[in-house]
């Protein structure tokens, strides 16, 4: 068994640490005989970027899918703003203010930017649900404003996102999370397939989110991103939390060795 290194928890600032947005306790997820997550405790604070790190298969994706309603955890409790919640579907997660920007972005390729920003939450007249008549002009206006506010430029709102570049798609996916006034935004490897200027854009969007008091979980393999954008790190190793540490308290070598499952001191 691995030794779990419980590094001393030093949050960003005491004021922000007062009330966590999400408190995860003893989260477990099992797929058949495979224990993908065991006993993960994690607090997520508003206005803070939490870096979630770990090698491939460490359980990062399983963790975020468990708190965004895609997977149902096998065991464990989640408290959202102090109240115990059961996040049984993506819809429930969203109603709690948890927005996820998945690695594959979850954009529908054959729909345009506006349709993707509003998918599942279209503005409409008349009946609720499937028979609602969409207010397409209102949605297009809204999307235009959202993108302007975030300083995101895309060729045309009427084009299908299929034809967009990686950075443009990423921007649309992040804009979607922001548009719905998320309280927690989960970014899964948001810079993985982007050019350098696009990466900078995503990093600045991330900081912008945190400065507006939004909690952010930032998953990445890129150590430079970690140093640049995160306030605090949670490192997973083989489904367990191996370390939780303030970013300013460690250097990149220490982070890498923690990801590899060694202790901070070993670096």
Partner 1 sequence: MSSRIKASDLMGRYIAYAALLVLIAFFGAMAPSLFLTGGNFEVILQNSAVQCVVAIGMTFVILIGSIDLSVGSTMALVGTLSAMASVEIGGGAFFLTPFIGAAIGLVNAVVFVYGRIPSFVVTLGMLSVARGLTLIISNGTPVPIPFVGLFSSIGIPPIPIFIVVGLALVASFVLTRTTFGRYTFAIGGDEDKANVLGLPVKQVKIIVFTLSGALAGLGGGILTAQIGSGSPTMGTGFELTAISAVVIGGTSLTGGRGSILGTIVGSLVMSTLANGLIILDSWRLHRCADCADRHRAGRSRAAVDPARQDPHHEIATALLETRTRRIQHGNDHPDPADGPDPDT
Q: Is position 71 an interface residue for partner 1 (rule: CB under 8 A)?
A: no
| DSSP label at residue 7 | P
Residue number, 6 or 88, with CB nearest to partner 1: 88
- Mind giving me the DSSP string for 181-209? T-SEEEEESTTTT--HHHHHHHHHHHHHH
Q: Is position 6 an interface residue for partner 1 (rule: CB under 8 A)?
A: no
| Beta-bridge partners for 157 | none
**Three-state SS for 163?**
helix
Contact with partner 1 (CB under 8 A) among 21, 45, 63, 164: 164
The token pair that represents 233 in the structure block: 């790190």
Q: Is position 104 an interface residue for partner 1 (rule: CB under 8 A)?
A: yes
The token pair that represents 135 in the structure block: 């207010």
Contact with partner 1 (CB under 8 A) among 122, 222, 223, 267: 122
HSE-CB for 134 with a 13 A CA cutoff = 12
**Least gap, CB of 32 to partner 1 (angstroms):** 19
Whether the Cβ atoms of residue 100 and residue 165 lie closer than 8 Å to each other: no
Nearest to 212 by CA among 184, 239, 186: 184
Q: Is position 155 an interface residue for partner 1 (rule: CB under 8 A)?
A: yes
Q: Is position 134 an interface residue for partner 1 (rule: CB under 8 A)?
A: yes
Give the binding range for partner 1 (CB under 8 A) out of 49-57, 132-140, 180-188, 207-215: 132-140
R_g of the chain computed on alpha carbons: 19
Q: Which residue has the tokens 């810079």?
A: 191
Q: Is position 72 an interface residue for partner 1 (rule: CB under 8 A)?
A: no
Gap between the Cα atoms of 110 and 168, Å rounded: 15
Residue number, 76 or 124, with CB nearest to partner 1: 124
Contact with partner 1 (CB under 8 A) among 69, 73, 97, 190: 69
Residue number, 21 or 102, with CB nearest to partner 1: 102
Gap between the Cα atoms of 122 and 133, Å rounded: 9
Give the binding range for partner 1 (CB under 8 A) out of 55-63, 130-138, 179-187, 229-237: 130-138
**Least gap, CB of 93 to partner 1 (angstroms):** 8
Q: Is position 141 an interface residue for partner 1 (rule: CB under 8 A)?
A: no
Binding site for partner 1 (CB under 8 A): 69-70, 89-91, 94, 102, 104, 106-111, 115, 119-120, 122, 124, 129-134, 136, 155, 159-160, 162-164
């Amino acid at each position: 068994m691995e030794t779990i290194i419980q590094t001393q928890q030093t949050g960003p600032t005491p004021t922000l640490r007062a009330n966590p947005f999400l408190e995860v306790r003893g989260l477990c997820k099992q797929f058949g005989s495979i224990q993908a997550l065991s006993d993960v405790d994690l607090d997520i604070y508003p206005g803070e970027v939490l870096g979630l790190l770990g090698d491939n298969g460490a359980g990062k994706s399983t963790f975020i899918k468990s708190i965004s309603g895609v997977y149902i955890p096998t065991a464990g409790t989640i408290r959202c703003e102090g109240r115990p919640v059961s996040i049984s579907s993506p819809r429930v997660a969203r109603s709690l203010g948890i927005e996820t920007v998945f690695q594959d972005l979850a954009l529908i390729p054959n729909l345009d930017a506006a349709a993707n920003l509003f998918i599942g939450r279209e503005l409409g007249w008349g009946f609720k649900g499937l028979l609602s008549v969409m207010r397409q002009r209102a949605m297009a206006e809204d999307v235009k404003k959202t993108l302007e506010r975030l300083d995101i430029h895309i060729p045309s709102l009427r084009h299908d996102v299929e034809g967009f570049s990686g950075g443009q798609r990423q921007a649309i996916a992040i804009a979607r999370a922001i548009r719905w006034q998320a309280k927690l935004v989960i970014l899964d490897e948001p810079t993985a397939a982007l050019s350098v200027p696009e990466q900078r854009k995503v990093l600045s969007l991330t900081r912008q989110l945190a400065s507006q008091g939004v909690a952010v979980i930032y998953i990445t393999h890129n150590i430079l991103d970690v140093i640049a954008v995160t306030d605090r790190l949670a490192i997973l190793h083989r489904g367990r939390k191996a370390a939780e540490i303030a970013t300013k308290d460690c250097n990149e070598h220490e982070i890498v060795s923690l990801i590899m499952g060694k202790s901070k001191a070993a670096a």
